[in-house]
């Protein structure tokens, strides 16, 4: 898909706008999640227009390149210098001399999820396997940035899915987490994006994602509650419909 | 600036500490009295915070755009303002001085045994990457006829931690602040923190912790006193 500076910022004019009018936020279709048809044995849910548009946007999204990073570094550094002055600090003192550049590079690293596409990460690691028992990868460390305060969020992600003849390389689950977490995020959206990406890649019988995180915006400022954690979950397919499957998943991630 | 008045203070009890350090870029005239020393200049006045917000907001808007985000989307509409206020809060130590918070809470008490306040949660910003680091501070001191309200120790931690910091300097500034306020027989400060700049980026070592300590006065000279503090404060 062609990528120009103009379309980088206006995420609403994609050629594959979803039918239900959901906005394309955070580089990924974020409208109503269409659950894959549970009874359908076919790999491609092509009959539903909105779902196929989700498929396309999932395969083709990319908002930033390495060249973009290089070119935006000076303006980022200038913005950080302004911030240092605005806080009453002296940007010329020894400890702060190169801070604008370091902070700019750090921030680009914390949002490197915008540079990556799911399709690049997953392309070869989907295998046909006659396995239909639950697969769980738990305690995946996750680091994100709160999009409201630009302050870190960190915690753990637990993913479980029931394969439908296709399994995924295990580290690819962690890579999906990385792509979506290294962005300006809201925990609810992060959880859903991970679940939807796995659903679209594998068309499994069901997916469950639980994210448990600490928000520095609540701990370091504002209400300042040190020990609070936020837990969000997304259950799709048989995980949503069958309470016993969901129970099994939740029990296994807890132990 | 993130400096704390240092150099030799004119009180005899404190002179024994040899608490010279070269952290400050300001040269303090050591002939001034200790009282004047403690009223060190704040680099930011609280009243100025409002007037500085627009510049900070503009800087954050620029940052969001340069990261490739769409500043008109719903979740980001007021983010520059929120982020500007957040970072002002996280650096509010710049407009606080020791005197403001300590003024009335020093009491004459005939106590000369160790006083320890431990497990004080500390949150600061790494001055190199502008990314948080956080952990716990353990403070111990041996009073010399003057004790301080216990929460004031935590407030001293707040003043110095809510700044752009380096963990070594933070530890030293806390120790020096207590030293100058109370002139105790000894001060010990241990800071144990996790640095997000190491955990979230760079080497990405999840479980690493950095521990720094400053021992002044009798804690520096007498190993047994130091051991007692470490045994009591660092006990799990």
Domains of chain A: 62-114 (1.10.286.10), 117-254 (3.30.1130.10)
Asked if residues A242 and A249 have their Cβ atoms less than 8 Å apart, the reply is no
Ramachandran angles phi, psi of B234, nearest 5°: -95, 5
**Stretch among A52-61, B22-31, B36-45 having the lowest mean pLDDT:** B22-31
> Going by C-beta distance under 8 Å and a sequence separation of 6 or more, which residues neighbour residue A230?
A155, A187, A212, A213, A214, A215
CA A219 from chain centre, in angstroms, equals 23
The predicted structure's pLDDT at residue A10: 40
Nearest to B1 among A89, A98, A217 (CB): A89
Q: How confident is the model over A118-136, as a mean pLDDT?
A: 87
Query: Which chain B residue is nearest to residue A23, measuring alpha carbons?
Result: B73
Which residues in chain A have their CB less than 8 angstroms from residue B68's CB? 8-9, 63-64, 68, 72, 111, 114
Q: Which has more pLDDT, A20 or B236? A: B236
Per-residue pLDDT band for A235 (boundaries 50, 70, 90) equals very high
Distance from C-alpha of B72 to C-alpha of A10, rounded to nearest angstrom? 9
User: Is the CB of A152 less than 8 angstroms away from the CB of B196?
Assistant: yes
Nearest to B79 among A107, A110, A150 (CB): A150
Cα pseudo-dihedral A162, A165, A170, A172, rounded to 10: -100
Per-residue pLDDT band for B2 (boundaries 50, 70, 90) equals low
**Tokens 């470490």 identify what position?**
B230
User: Is the CB of B132 less than 8 angstroms away from the CB of A152?
Assistant: yes
Domain boundaries, chain B: 29-91, 102-232
Nearest to B135 by CA among B164, B163, B157: B157
Which residues in chain B have their CB less than 8 angstroms from residue A186's CB? 75
Class of domain B102-232: alpha beta
Predicted model pTM: 0.77
Distance from C-alpha of A219 to C-alpha of A213, rounded to nearest angstrom? 12
Distance from C-alpha of B9 to C-alpha of B5, rounded to nearest angstrom? 9
As its CATH architecture, domain B29-91 has: Orthogonal Bundle (1.10)
CA A18 to chain B, closest CA, distance in angstroms equals: 17
Of the residues B46, B109, B128, B227, only one is catalytic, namely: B128
B102-127 pLDDT, tens digit per residue, is: 877 888 888 889 999 999 999 999 99
Q: How confident is the model over A109-121, as a mean pLDDT?
A: 89
Distance from C-alpha of B91 to C-alpha of A88, rounded to nearest angstrom? 9
Nearest to A99 among B60, B84, B127 (CB): B127
Per-residue pLDDT band for A65 (boundaries 50, 70, 90) equals confident
């Amino acid at each position: 898909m062609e990528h120009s500076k103009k379309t980088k910022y206006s995420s609403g004019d994609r050629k594959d706008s979803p039918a239900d009018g959901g906005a394309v936020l955070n580089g990924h279709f974020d409208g109503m999640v269409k659950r894959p048809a549970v009874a359908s044995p076919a790999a491609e849910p092509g009959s539903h227009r909105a779902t196929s548009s989700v498929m396309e946007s999932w395969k083709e999204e990319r908002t930033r390149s390495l060249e973009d990073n290089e070119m935006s570094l000076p303006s980022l550094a200038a913005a950080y210098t302004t911030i240092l002055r605005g806080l009453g600090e002296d940007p010329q003192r020894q400890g702060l001399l190169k801070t604008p550049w370091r902070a700019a590079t750090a921030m680009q690293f914390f949002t490197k999820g915008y540079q990556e596409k799911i399709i690049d990460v997953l392309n070869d690691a989907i295998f046909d396997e006659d396995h239909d028992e639950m697969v769980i990868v738990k305690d995946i460390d996750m680091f994100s940035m709160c999009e409201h305060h630009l302050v870190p969020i960190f915690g753990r992600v637990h993913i479980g899915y029931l394969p439908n003849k296709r399994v995924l390389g295990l580290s690819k689950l962690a890579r999906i987490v990385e792509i979506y977490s290294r962005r300006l995020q809201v925990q609810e959206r992060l959880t859903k994006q991970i679940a939807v990406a796995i659903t679209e890649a594998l068309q499994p019988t069901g997916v469950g994602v639980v994210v448990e995180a600490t928000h520095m915006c609540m701990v370091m400022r504002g209400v300042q509650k040190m020990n609070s954690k936020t837990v969000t979950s997304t259950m799709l397919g048989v995980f949503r419909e069958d309470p016993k499957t969901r129970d099994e998943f939740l029990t296994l991630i807890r132990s | 600036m993130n400096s704390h008045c240092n150099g030799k203070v004119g009180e005899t009890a404190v002179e024994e500490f040899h608490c010279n350090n070269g952290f400050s870029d300001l040269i303090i005239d050591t002939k001034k009295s200790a009282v004047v020393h403690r009223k060190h200049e704040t680099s930011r006045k609280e009243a100025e915070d409002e007037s500085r917000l627009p510049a900070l907001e503009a800087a954050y808007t620029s940052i969001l755009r340069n990261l490739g985000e769409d500043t008109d989307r719903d979740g980001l509409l007021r983010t520059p303002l929120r982020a500007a206020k957040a970072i002002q809060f996280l650096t509010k130590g710049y407009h606080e001085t020791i005197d403001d918070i300590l003024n009335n809470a020093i009491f004459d008490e005939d106590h000369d045994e160790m006083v320890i306040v431990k497990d004080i949660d500390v949150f600061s910003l790494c001055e190199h990457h502008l990314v948080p680091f956080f952990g716990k501070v353990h403070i111990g001191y041996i009073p010399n006829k003057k004790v301080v309200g216990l929460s004031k120790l935590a407030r001293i931690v707040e003043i110095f931690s809510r700044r752009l910091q380096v963990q070594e300097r933070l530890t030293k500034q806390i120790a020096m602040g207590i030293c100058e306020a109370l002139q105790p027989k000894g001060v010990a400060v241990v800071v144990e923190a996790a640095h997000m700049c190491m955990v979230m980026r760079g080497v990405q070592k999840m479980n690493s912790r950095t521990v720094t300590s400053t021992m002044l006065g009798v804690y520096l000279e007498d190993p047994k006193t130091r051991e007692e503090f470490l045994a009591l404060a660092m006990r799990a």
